[in-house]
Structure 1
């Protein structure tokens, strides 16, 4: 089971989205594959051992490098594309989280980005998983 923490600035928007995603987990049959939690981004380091991937809301992208420098590189931190954050489709979240987790195990890069999406503006219009958006069926080279 993949454990994902969704973070926003204060925990408010992520908690609303988390409720939506948690209901979809059961509805779409992902409750045995994915565990979702949430917390304010400033507290996520206190929960590193509880999660495999941290997914941050888009407006936090400018804080991530400093956060990693201060609290370490123990868990991959990924900035969710703005449109994807707004729709929070559990299937798409799961696929991106799984790919980020696998990529991090190989590279230990942080923050984690998909190829060609290192610039926040390049990611903002994607509302589906990277794999689905680009028709990728094999391994992603990070």
Structure 2
């Protein structure tokens, strides 16, 4: 099972996002394959063993760079447009691809080769589908 953390500073929108994604997982009957949970940024370093990958809200880009060396799991900044649209398939596919990339080349924060600046990413679907 792929365990994905949605990470934010305050948690208002990100906890709602995690709840929305988890409901979509249940609606698609993927409960045995993937699980989303909300973890505040202030706790993600000590709770990282609970998940396989951490998807950080867009405004945490500086946090990701400052604490990158504290992680032994991949951390990834969610593209802003993707964050707003909340498509569960895109979150799952990006998390799968980021995890695979991390296993081959562990470096944080992770990003797709053609997306070095996460806040400038304008896609509205997974990286996999966007580049298909």
CA RMSD of aligned residues (A): 1.1
Match of 1:130 among 111, 127, 132: 127
- 2:74 maps to which residue? 76
SS in 2 for 1:7: strand
- 2:13 maps to which residue? 13
1:111 aligns with 2:78: no
Match of 2:85 among 87, 94, 98: 87
The structure 1 segments of at least 4 consecutive aligned residues displaced by more than 3 Å after TM superposition are none
For the 8 Å contact 1:126–1:133, the answer to whether it is kept is yes
Gaps of 5+ in 2: none
1:45 aligns with 2:45: yes
Q: CA deviation at 1:127?
A: 1.5
Q: CA deviation at 1:67?
A: 1.3
TM-score (norm 2): 0.94
- 1:67 maps to which residue? 67
Q: CA deviation at 1:104?
A: 0.3
SS in 2 for 1:98: helix
- Count of aligned pairs between the two proteins: 132
- 1:25 maps to which residue? 25
Gaps of 5+ in 1: 136-142
Q: CA deviation at 1:73?
A: 3.0
For the 8 Å contact 1:116–1:122, the answer to whether it is kept is no
